[in-house]
């Protein structure tokens, strides 16, 4: 998944120790792929759990006084010995605290170490390492920067120390994304999503691994099919079906199978079959991704979905063939493709969810298509972050679709272009399409 943090190194899961022989059989490759996604899911879940376990007390309670006052004491000190003692004490307290310092609407980014320059690239500046530079307190190795954000915001960032990108060494709160972990900030009114956790004592669906050879695409892709738990599936002979672009990342980084298990167990949605399509021919190798070809409103890819993948799913699984019970979703370019597929093949996809969609592609060409396409029987969900995300174009598309007469649910949240943003809305999407009233 292409993210704003494009200069970050890709995630490497050395702990999984996955090895595949050069000429391994397709079945062996699929098993290795499944292990890779499972390992990535565990890392994502562990990061989310760690974030919620960190000290959540108000900063003034932890430090004995407002952080702004502590900072002022250091900045205004005229005695070098006193300044050094104050910075060392602050460093010790921050190491123990373990998360970014937030007071009301202000975040204090801090760094201790030898450096000529420390930048804070992140959601707030489009991951520009030169946009926000920390100030160094004279005579010390203490750098700081204060920034204000919406009270309900969630942000991801890194530090750039001279020319080195790194996680914030004083912030143990992290979010795992398509390019590895980022440091994370929760503002006071932000609430982490519920329903993404693994619940051991409920029925769990299974995840089938398929290797789908496409004549149209002239290549083979992994496809993962979530099949609802047996005890729930028996109550409903035919299930609705949802096709998901960037399927591997929705599994590994958005924890979508957990969300499905939890919603079905709580009887908030009916048993649902979900088809996770990955754009990479090898999930472990980002260079094999074809999303820049397939997801940019490719008619060939839409034909693959409709003419090759869908018949396979209809043969193998008991799913509803009607468009009103068939959805397609995706994030970023995947959201663009989902919207395009729903507009041009509404006879197949009657439900469409686009998260932070890349409607800007080809000078907003999708909007021209939407404006010139007769009203179809499609129900839309659109969501976007407001911090260097897809807010402007998504808002325009919302208005365009509504003016044409479409049913559209639209949400904005003070977050950036990340899986941590998108996964928080998966349960809302599923309940919007299939929720039990």
Best CA proximity match to 284, nearest among 307, 244, 252, 256 = 252
CB neighbours of 281 closer than 8 A, spacing ≥ 6?
Answer: 219, 220, 221, 222, 288, 290
> Given this model, what pLDDT does residue 285 score?
86
Q: Find the helix packing angle between 256-265 and 426-434, rounded to 10°.
A: 50
pLDDT of 5 strictly over 50:
no
pLDDT at 234: 53
359-362: which pairs have CB atoms within 8 A and are 24 or more residues apart?
A: 359/390, 359/393, 359/394, 359/396, 359/397, 360/390, 360/393, 361/296, 361/297, 361/333, 361/336, 362/296, 362/297
CB 217 within 8 A of CB 304: yes
Burial 9-31 (b: 16+ CB within 10 A, else e): eebebeebeeeeeeeeeeeebbe
Cβ atoms within 10 Å, residue 57: 9
The pLDDT, as a whole number, for residue 186 is 95
**What's the pLDDT at 361?**
94
| pLDDT per position as a tens digit, 282-335 | 888 889 999 999 999 999 999 999 999 999 999 999 999 999 999 999 999 999
Q: Who has greater pLDDT, 421 or 177? A: 421
CA separation for the pair 105, 166 (Å, rounded):
25
Contact 164, 148 (CB under 8 A): no
Tokens, residue 83: 């300044």
Q: Which residues of 109-129 are buried (b: 16+ CB within 10 A; e: fewer)?
A: bbbbeebeebbbbbbbbebbb
Integer angstrom CA distances of residue 154 from 110, 174, 185, 198: 18, 11, 6, 22
Radius of gyration of the chain (CA): 23
Give pLDDT tens digits for 185-238.
999 999 999 899 999 999 999 999 999 999 999 999 999 999 999 765 455 579
The whole model's pTM is what?
0.89
* 247, two tokens: 């399927």
The answer to whether residues 184 and 420 touch, using CB atoms and an 8 Å cutoff, is: yes
Residue 357 has which token pair?
Answer: 């969609």
How buried is 436 (Cβ within 10 angstroms: 0-12 exposed, 13-18 middle, 19+ buried)? exposed
**Is the pLDDT assigned to residue 7 strictly greater than 90?**
no
């Amino acid at each position: 998944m292409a993210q704003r943090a494009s200069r970050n190194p890709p995630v490497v899961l050395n702990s999984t120790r996955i090895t595949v022989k050069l000429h391994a059989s397709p079945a062996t490759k699929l098993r290795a792929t499944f292990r890779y996604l499972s390992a990535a899911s565990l890392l994502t879940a562990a990061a989310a759990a760690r974030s919620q376990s960190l000290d959540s007390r108000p900063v003034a309670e932890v430090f004995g006084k407002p952080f702004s006052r502590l900072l002022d004491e250091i900045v205004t000190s005229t005695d070098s010995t006193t300044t050094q003692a104050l910075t060392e004490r602050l460093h010790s307290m921050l190491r123990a605290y373990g998360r970014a310092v937030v007071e009301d609407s202000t975040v204090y980014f801090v760094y201790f170490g030898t450096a000529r320059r420390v930048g804070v690239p992140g959601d707030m500046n489009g991951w520009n390492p030169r946009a926000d530079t920390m100030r160094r307190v004279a005579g010390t190795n203490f750098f700081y920067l204060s920034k204000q954000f919406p009270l309900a915001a969630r942000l991801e960032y890194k530090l750039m120390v001279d020319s080195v990108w790194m996680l914030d060494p004083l912030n143990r709160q992290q979010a795992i994304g398509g390019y590895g972990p980022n440091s994370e900030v929760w503002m006071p009114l932000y609430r982490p999503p519920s329903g993404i956790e693994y619940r051991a004592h409920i029925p769990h669906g299974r995840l089938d691994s398929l290797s789908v050879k496409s004549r149209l695409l002239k290549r083979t892709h992994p496809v993962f099919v979530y099949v609802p738990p047996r005890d729930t599936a028996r109550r409903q002979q035919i299930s609705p079906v949802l096709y998901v672009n960037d399927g591997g990342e929705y599994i590994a980084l958005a924890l979508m199978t957990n969300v499905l298990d939890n919603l079905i167990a709580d009887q908030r949605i009916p048993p649902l079959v979900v088809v996770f399509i990955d754009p990479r021919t090898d999930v472990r190798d980002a260079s094999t991704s074809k999303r820049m070809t397939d997801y940019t409103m490719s008619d060939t890819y839409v034909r693959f979905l409709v003419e090759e993948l869908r018949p396979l799913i209809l043969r193998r699984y008991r799913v509803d063939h009607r468009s009103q019970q068939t959805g397609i979703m995706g994030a970023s370019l995947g959201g663009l493709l989902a919207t395009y597929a729903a507009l041009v093949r509404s006879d197949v996809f009657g439900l469409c969810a686009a998260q932070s969609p890349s409607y800007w592609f080809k000078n907003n060409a999708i909007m021209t298509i939407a404006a010139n396409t007769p009203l179809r029987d499609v129900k839309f969900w659109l969501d976007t972050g407001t911090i260097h995300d897809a807010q402007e174009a998504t808002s325009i598309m919302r208005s365009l679709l509504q003016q044409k007469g479409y049913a559209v649910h639209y949400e904005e949240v003070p977050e950036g272009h990340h899986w941590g943003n998108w996964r928080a809305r998966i349960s809302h999407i599923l309940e919007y399409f299939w929720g039990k009233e």
